[in-house]
Chains A and B, each alone.
Chain A
């Protein structure tokens, strides 16, 4: 099993550009989440999904969209990139609440 596959690993965007961070898991996990990690802040929740077709906002959702058309995929879209979105992004999945969490390798995004 590949686990959680997150791409790309690195990305540089210009202000105003849009892009999609991909996240896929092959473990049939229902729960998937996107987090951003900033120095001194810890990981913060952007959006999450409890199953295909169901998504909801987390702590810092502004400027991001998600969709969950299949159990496997949970892409994160940046609509119009801003320098404040420079961060490291992680996708995570769990089979059920209170089970082991699996993380993607992370995406280091720089917006100039």
Chain B
């Protein structure tokens, strides 16, 4: 079973700072998901990537398949970015389920 580790667990930043959240996994995968969960809210997909880098607005996700590592970056962070960010990988085979990291709780102070 794939083990997914995220760091840091908690992160406090000042508005405008550059944020990096890391994710590592133990078994090779073909794709990785970054998800966002606001307090008391649902879960939304930010990125799904299998190689290289993807960018959406101020969010950038990178993945290194060889090193089994991915990062999520937030440029010019804003208080509305405060949320839990979750990394997830496929559960294997053709099951269609995901294995999740425990999440990184980000708080951006004005």
List the interface of chain A (C-beta within 8 A of B). Answer: 30-33, 35, 40-45, 48, 50, 56, 58, 90, 92, 94, 96-106
**Size class of the contact patch on chain B:** 20 to 34
Q: In the assembly, what is the distance between CA of A48 and CA of B44, in Å?
A: 19
Contact check, B43 vs A45: say whether CB atoms are below 8 A apart. Answer: no
Which one of B19-27, B59-67, B69-77, B95-103 is at the interface?
B95-103
List the interface of chain B (C-beta within 8 A of A). Answer: 30-31, 33, 35, 41-45, 48, 50, 86, 88, 90-91, 94-103
Q: In the assembly, what is the distance between CA of A56 and CA of B99, in Å?
A: 16
Chain A residues with Cβ below 8 Å from B103 are: 42
CB within 8 Å for A48 and B95 given contacts A97-B90, A98-B30, A101-B88:
yes
CB within 8 Å for A42 and B101 given contacts A104-B42, A106-B42:
yes
